[in-house]
Amino acid sequence: MIKSPRVQVDWTIGSGSCRIDSSLTSQGVAMKHRTPEETYGPALDKAIRDLQSLDPWLVALRSDTKYTRLTDTSSQIEVRFWGKDYIIHYPEICVEELEIRQEPPIAIQILILHYLINADGTPLADCWVSFRELSGGRVYDAAFRRRANLSLAQAFGSDLDGFVAAAKALGGERLTHGDASFFFPMFPRLRLAVVLYLADEELPASANVLFDAAAGHYLPTEDLAVLGGMLAGRLIKAGGGQ
């Protein structure tokens, strides 16, 4: 197995949230909402520098993505993320959605770059773990359960057909756990799953977002929290929720 450097992530859980300038609130001034670019710009800049320090051919090998050498000084990596193809241009490191030839949202760019940086070539484990079982997952577990698991249970706990339709719309593939379950190929070597248990006379509805046990070889736990929250949010939206 080829080793790659691990990345310490300093961007917050919840890729669409706004941070508040504490220096303003402490003086009683109205809260200032920052754009995603302002909030996550430093994390993106660091990811670009980290990826520039790595050999793109080795990055593609570790991440199971496609490397193409264009000239003596330029190349590209093509990576599939959640059903869409993206191009990462070297050496400048810019991310482009292949179909529309535009930059994706900054949170998507960071996830893609972090996947490439952290990938170490470990095969998919083909077994599932909860967020709590990930390295450092206990720290974020309560927040993750509120953001992802409880939200899914509230949205689909009495709507099996709605859950199935939403999961299929997002490219989910059937599993055999719970009342309904699907896995979602996020990256070539990173999968998430959602298991739904419907409410009955004795127990309330519940849902669990799960991760392939090798997920920590491809994204830090903080990024996996972001990705799990995105999956829950998109499923709820696809099912007609907010």
Query: Across the 242 residues of the chain, what is the mean pLDDT of every consecutive 10-residue run?
Result: 44 35 38 79 96 97 97 96 97 96 96 98 97 95 96 96 97 97 98 96 95 98 97 96 70
Q: What is the pLDDT of residue 3?
A: 41
Cα distance between residue 239 and residue 172, in whole Å = 14
Tell me the domain boundaries of the chain.
22-118, 128-238
Q: Which of 123, 138, 233 is nearest to 189 (CA)?
A: 123
H-helix or E-strand spanning residue 180: strand 180-187
Is CATH 3.30.310 the right assignment for the domain spanning 128-238? yes
Q: What is the pLDDT of residue 200?
A: 87
Q: What is the pLDDT of residue 32?
A: 65
**9 in helix, strand or coil?**
coil
Cα distance between residue 238 and residue 143, in whole Å = 23
Tell me the H-state helices in 178-239: 221-238
Q: What is the pLDDT of residue 39?
A: 86
Cα distance between residue 68 and residue 88, in whole Å = 10
Cα distance between residue 98 and residue 114, in whole Å = 19
Q: Which of the 8 DSSP states describes residue 33?
A: B
Cα distance between residue 165 and residue 63, in whole Å = 30
Q: What is the pLDDT of residue 26?
A: 37
